Structure 1
Amino acid sequence: MNKKLPVLCPSCTEELSVEKLICNSCETQVVGNYKLPLFLKLSAEEQDFIMQFFLSSGSLKDMAKQLDVSYPTMRNKVDDLISKINLMKDE
C-alpha cells in the first residue's frame, strides 16, 4: 500500500508543511519549514488523473476511450480540476 503524504492537520484541518527530509541512502537530513507543492495537495484520484493525462500525451479523446466515458464528461472533469488548481494557486 502506498501511503499518501498528509496535507491537512487531522486536528484543525489547516494546511501542513514539510519540516524535514532524509536521504535513505546516506541519512543526510534537511531541516526547515517548506510549503507542499501544489500537486501534492491534490487528492490521489486527481493526481492519478493528471498522470493519465500526461501519459496519454494530453489527449482527452484517448482518455475518454480508456475510461469509457464521453468526451464532454472528460472535458468537464479537466475544467473542474483546472478551476480547483487556479483557486489553490491564489491561496
Structure 2
Amino acid sequence: MQKMPEQCPLCKSDILVTRFYCPRCDTAVEGHFQPYAGPFADLTEEQINFILTFVRCEGRFNRMEEELNLSYPTLRNRLYDIIRALGYEPGKDDEPSLSPEDRRRILDDLERGKITPLQAQQLLQGLEVESKKG
C-alpha cells in the first residue's frame, strides 16, 4: 500500500481527505477530514529510519555505531538534526550552569572550611547537598 501524499502533486497545496475505506468490513465513510500529520511528519525517511534504529538499539550509540557503521560524532549530529527538525534545541533544557559568583561563593566556603571538599564538588556539579558543615 502506498503512503498517502502530503501535498497535491499538481499545486502543492494541503490534501483534504474525503473518503475512508475499510477492506475488512467493506465500510466507506465520506466527509471532509484533515489528515493527521503527527510530530514526525516533517522528518525525512532517513531521519525516520534513524529513529527506528535508535529505538531498536535502545538508544545505545555503541550498538548503533556497529549497525549503521557510523562514528559516535556522526550519530550525535544526526540525532541533534532530528531534535532541531522537531522544533527543539539540543541542550536547551539542561540545567543552567552556575554563575561565576555562585562558583566563587562555593570555593570561598570550601576555603573557609564551611563545607567539605565532597560538598563543594557536589555543589559545583549542581547536585543537592543534604547538610553543610558549620
Pair in the same fold by TM > 0.5: yes
TM-score, structure 1 normalization:
0.72
Deviations 1:48-91 (A, max 9, x none): 2211111111223321221111111001101111111218xxxx
Distance in 2 of aligned mates of 1:12 and 1:30? 26
Task: Indicate the structure (1 or 2) with the bigger Cα radius of gyration.
Answer: 2
Is 1:23 paired with 2:22? yes
Is 1:67 paired with 2:83? no
> Which has the higher relative contact order, 1 or 2, with Cα contacts under 8 A spaced 6 or more apart?
1
Percent identity, aligned pairs only, is 31
Aligned position for 2:52: 51
In structure 2, runs of 5+ residues without a counterpart are 89-134
Instruction: Find runs of 4+ consecutive structure 1 residues off by over 4 angstroms.
Output: none
In structure 1, runs of 5+ residues without a counterpart are none
Question: Which is richer in helix?
Answer: 1
